[in-house]
Amino acid sequence: MAPVAQHQDDPEDRTAPSTPRVRSGSLLVSATDLTEPTFRRTVVYIIEHNESGSFGVVLNRISDTPVDAMLPQWSRLAADPGSLFVGGPVHRSSALCLGTLRVGARTTDVPGIRHVDGRIAMIDLDSDPGHIARYVEAIRIFAGYAGWSAGQLEGELRNDDWMVVSALPRDVLESPHVDLWAKVLRRQPLPLALLATHPIEVERN
């Protein structure tokens, strides 16, 4: 019998990698028994992961504050609904911005844009929005971030607090009306996809 062909890793892959590992551009999906309010049913986009630690932003925690109220110069580029999102418990008084680059955009050495992975980049909010608009489809601004010191995230992974899966470019700008936690799990291979049906409030079932 001929061996089954192995497909190369694709950054747009719709399933989890066969041997998940944390890297820039990974998603951390909270486990069903992680009930701590800050991270319950959250999806975290990892911006940086190295021997010094890790940091990223929670993608599915919208705030009541419109971008226009805090950073009006960026409101035109902000993805709907144009609100700040709560990126995590660390430094909530500071803002961090991610953007989805236009297909084919060349951003090497472009001031104000730092590539993260695929079509996702960090945007310097001190840069000129008019200049940035040439390269990005839309942005999302986060108040605060989620951070782990050296070895801390690895400990949480050993404790099965998180599932590591691949991100799609649209995940970063997903509408808050979509249950991103369930949506990301639903596109994973079985048995992981079954977790998407886990009830939001277990005590009600």
For range 66-79, the mean pLDDT: 97
Is the pLDDT reported for residue 13 higher than 90? no
Percent of the chain whose predicted confidence (pLDDT) is above 90:
77
- Radius of gyration over alpha carbons of the chain, in Å? 17
pLDDT score of 20: 67
- What domains lie within the chain, and their CATH numbers? 26-199 (3.40.1740.10)
Residues 123-175 pLDDT 10s: 999 999 999 999 999 999 999 999 999 999 999 999 999 999 999 999 999 99
Contact between 49 and 21 (Cβ < 8 Å):
no
pLDDT score of 205: 35
Contact between 20 and 160 (Cβ < 8 Å):
no
Contact between 163 and 28 (Cβ < 8 Å):
yes
For range 185-192, the mean pLDDT: 89
pTM of the model: 0.86
Residue 16 has a CB neighbour count (10 Å cut-off) of 21
pLDDT score of 198: 81
Region for 25 from its dihedrals, namely left if φ exceeds 0, alpha if ψ lies in -120 to 50, beta otherwise:
left
Percent of the chain whose predicted confidence (pLDDT) is above 70:
87
pLDDT score of 53: 94
Is the pLDDT reported for residue 189 higher than 70? yes
* Confidence band for 15, pLDDT divided at 50, 70 and 90: very low
Contact between 139 and 77 (Cβ < 8 Å):
yes
